[in-house]
Structures are given as C-alpha cells and as structure tokens.
Amino acid sequence: MASSGYTCVQNQDSSTEKDRLLSSVAKYGSQDHVGGGGPHPSCLVASDSCHKHEHEEEEAALRRKLKYFFMSPCDKYHAKGRKPFKLGLQLLKIIIVTVQLVLFGLSNQMVVTFREENTAAFKHLFLEGYQDDVPQAVHTQEEMYSHIHFAIEQYMAIPDISLGRYAYVLGVGVNGSALSLCQRYFRRGTIDPVNDTFDIDPHVVTDCVGLNPPTYGSAPGNTDYKNFTLKFYKLINVTVDFQLKAINIQTIINNEIPDCYTFAITISMDNRAHSGKVKISLQNQATIRECKDTNVSGHAESYARVLFDVLVAIVCMLSLVLCGRSILRGILLQREYVWFFKHKLCRSVNWEDRMEFINGWYILLIISDMFTIVGSFIKVGIESKTLSTYDMCGILLGTSTLLVWVGVIRYLSFFQKYNILIVTLRAAFPNVIRFCCCAAAIYMGYCFCGWIVLGPYHTKFRSLSKVSECLFSLINGDDMFVTFAEMEKSGTLVWVFSQVYLYTFISLFIYMVLSLFIALITGAYDTIMAQTQDQVCITNLHAFIAECTDTPSSGKFRGPEGSSCSFFCCCDG
C-alpha cells in the first residue's frame, strides 16, 4: 500500500528535479564537474529521504484521524480526554422525550375517551332501539318515519333527558336553523318490476327543512318535520344534521384547563341499494376549542408543562446540531481520505468505503429530533388551546420516541456481544428484500382473488384492506377456524373454491414462505458466527486503519489543535 504511494512521490521528486535543472538559477553544464550550481548527489538522497519521511508522517496522521473518527465514545475520552457530552445528551433526551410522550398520552387518552363516550351516548339518545355492536336498519316505511321523528324529538328534549350537559348550536342548519332534515332523491325515477322496466334521471335533488329547539322560540314551520314526506321509490338517503356543545372537565385531574367541544352529529339513513333494507348510522365529528372565562377555584395557571416542552425542544435542537456536525465531519474526512488515496497512493476508493463515513444512526437521530421539535411546538399549541391536532402530535411524538429508543442500539453496537443483532440484520437485509418482493407477488395475487371471489360471501373479504389483514392473520396462525366457519354456504362451487383457496394459502405461506424467511435470517446469523471464529474479511478502509497501532491511551491522539477547541468540539460521543 505504501509502495504505490512512494511511487507517486518519486515521480513528483523527479519532476521537481527537472524543474530545478531547467530554471535560470541553476548553472547546468560544465560547472557540475567543478562543484558549482548543480545539486550534490548526497543532497538528492537527503531530499528524497525527507519527502519519504513527510509522506509517512502524513499517512500516519491520516490513520490516527480515521481511527479516532470510528472510535467509541469511551475510547475517544481516553484518546483526547474529551467527555462524551453527546452520549450524555442522547441519554438525557431518551428520558425527557419518554416523559413527554407519557404526559401527552395521558392527556390524549382523556380526549379520545371523552369523544368516544359522547358518541356512544348520542347513539343511545338519538337512535331508536339502539344496541351496542348491533347494526341499525329499518325495513318498513313506518319504521323509518318513526326513527326520524324519534331523533328530532330527542334533540328537542336533550336538556331534560340527557345525563351530560349539552348546549344547542344555532345557525348551522338550512335557513339559519339549528337542525336540518334532508332527503336526497333522483329527479325522476320510475321503477316497474312487473314489466321489468325503469325510467331514472340520475340527477340528485336535495329537499331540506330546518328546525329550531323550543327554548329559543318556535321558528316558522318548526313542526313541518311531521309532514315531511319521503319519496321512497326514488329515495337515495335521509340525513339529520345538528351540533351540540360540551365541556370536558375531567382534564382538571391532570392539572389542565378543561377543553370546550363542539360535536357535529349526522344521522344517516342509506337507501342507495334500494334493497328493502335502509342502514342507519350516526357520525360524530368533534372540534376542540379554547373555553372562554375559565375559572377553577384553588387552581393557578401553571406553565410547567409548557416549559418542559420548550426544554425538550431545546435539547433536541442541540442534539440535531451535534449530529449534523458529526455528519459534516464525516463528509470532510471522507474527502480527505479519497484525496489521499488518489494523489498519494494512486488508488481509487470504492463506494462501500465511502459510505462508511456517513453514519446512518446520526441520520436516524436527526429525523427523530425534527419530529420531536415539531411535535413539541404542536403540544405547546394544544396546551395553550390554540391547536387541537392531537392525532398529528401523537404521530410525531410517538415516531420520534420510537426512533430515539432504536438509536440506543448504536451505542450497544460498540460491544461485540451486543452487536450481533445489527450485524445479522445488515447481512440478511439484501436477501430478505429480494425474498419479500417474490413473496409479495404471490400474496397480492391471493388478495385480489379472495376479494373478487369470496368478498360477497365473507365479511373478512369485503375490501382489499380487510383481505390483506385476514391473510396476514392466517400467516401468523390467528382466526383460522373462525375464517373457515364464517364462510357462507351460498353455493357449492364457491364453498369448494374457498376451501381450496384457504388450504393452499395457509400451506404455502406457513410451511414454505415463512419457513424460508426464517431460514434466511438463520443463515445470516450462522455466517456471522462463523466469521467471528474464522478470519474476518475487512474492507480496504478498515485494513488501512488497522495499520495504526496507537492505542487510545497512548497520547498520540492529543494534537495541538485541542488548545483552540470550541464547545461543540468537546461534544464527541
């Protein structure tokens, strides 16, 4: 390795000597014999030896710099005496980010529980004969009118019958009313099953009537809903829309200001199929906003959570800067290493060695820091009641916490016995990806086939997403008997096909695909274990670094540049 470098140096020395001989200062000619002008052979030998010594020093310095770059935080501390502040910062970040996620999870759980419990209460209040986990439907005209009248009458009497404290929202319906009763139907529709004829104009017409609660005065036509006639022969659906207000006071338990909610409720009666069965459903969309004139006795407004979120954001910003600086240092060191090999050793550096300088763990931590910073500011907005994006905040904070904890593996990887997981995954990843691509083609084929053939007869195959969920559960051995038992025997042909379909899928994916997948991981693990016992094949980069025999505690890594080190320079780890 060094010989090629020396070859390049000797070529440079010969060209330098030629330039000296051709310069105007040199007295090239007969004076060489009398000792004037030309260099003495002993001087040339000394100059050559000097260049060789400088080259060796430069090469040794680069080896030490590379070895220090790939050291663990503990070795870096022994090498230069710099405390691993970045390691300590990551450990601190793990603690505070986890605490932040737990606090937000408790708050978000109360929000979701309050919304779900109110939705359940609305179903029992406004849907006649409602039962939990039982689909609601009507089959006669009288039942449909009864359900509509029941929902409106319950709405009118909500302050007197409900256990919760609700308030009406005016001006959100048609013509400035509080409640809207609408039916949508085809502009023209004539269906005659006797003669097997029909005449339909597909343009949809919407007919609505508005109502106001009696406590706010009777509006004109406030009882018109009883005379509201439905056009069943061309009816598409019927909707009842209104809004209610409520306050979630249980947040006081967690020392938080209560939230004010506005529930937009829609009762829908779907007759698009015209099958004689009208499905009834209730949808509830909650909007959270800041309450006005809040007053909680014995409770002083606390900014502790806001300050804690700001602290988390500051720590993550500092972590982001340090990780970004480490990546930048790696790129600069990569350029220096490539330049040295190209100009001094006349060799090229492959991409595998170049990518060694780009630490993927730092990229992972940077993504985690960005998610945490954005999530923290959203959480501050939620606690100050200016934002209500709980779901977005939960996704950001949850993902960032996941990445932070995954990043702990980076520090465990410095220990050989703990590094087996990462090394095995790295070795098996290419083969696993290729194998998954082949298995995914077969899996998608089964998904489409099951959706088309079994979808009309099995609830687990009604959509592509449900089919995928069902088949993935079967691969893991879940709900096998239930999947077989729920197959409707509507026809012998479909039933026989379903048995062949399920048996072949389970046999293929459990006994072959899943076993081969495990075999790939096991094979990579066996290969890694065999390499640890035999001679390990290392890359050119690590072979170059291995020639540096200086130990971290030798003192040779403490250069003069340490005297002018800044704060960020000390944050190694």
| 487-542 pLDDT tens trace | 766 678 888 888 899 999 999 999 899 899 999 888 888 887 777 665 556 777 77
State the amino acid at position 251 in one-letter form.
T
Q: Which residues of 212-227 are buried (b: 16+ CB within 10 A; e: fewer)?
A: bbeeeeebeebeebee
Residues 309, 376 contacting (CB under 8 angstroms) = yes
- The reported pLDDT for the residue numbered 41 is 54
Residue 521 CB partners (closer than 8 Å, separation 6+): 424, 428, 432
DSSP 326: H
- The reported pLDDT for the residue numbered 355 is 84
- The reported pLDDT for the residue numbered 318 is 93
- Beta-carbon-side half-sphere exposure of residue 512 (alpha carbons within 13 Å): 10
- The reported pLDDT for the residue numbered 317 is 94
Give the relative orientation of helices 304-343 and 85-126 as an angle to the nearest 10 degrees.
130
- The reported pLDDT for the residue numbered 14 is 42
- The reported pLDDT for the residue numbered 20 is 41
Residues 330, 69 contacting (CB under 8 angstroms) = yes
| Residue of 412, 406, 385, 145 lying closest to 280 (CA atoms) | 145
Q: Model's pTM, two decimal places?
A: 0.72
- The reported pLDDT for the residue numbered 395 is 93
- The reported pLDDT for the residue numbered 15 is 43
Q: For residues 242 and 230, what is the distance between their CA atoms, to the nearest angstrom?
A: 20
Give the relative orientation of helices 41-69 and 2-22 as an angle to the nearest 10 degrees.
140
- The reported pLDDT for the residue numbered 302 is 62
Over the chain (573 residues), the average pLDDT of each successive run of 10 is 39 43 38 46 60 74 81 75 80 92 88 90 91 88 91 90 89 87 86 77 87 66 72 88 89 74 92 89 87 63 81 93 90 87 81 83 92 93 81 92 88 74 82 91 94 89 91 87 77 86 92 90 83 65 78 70 46 55
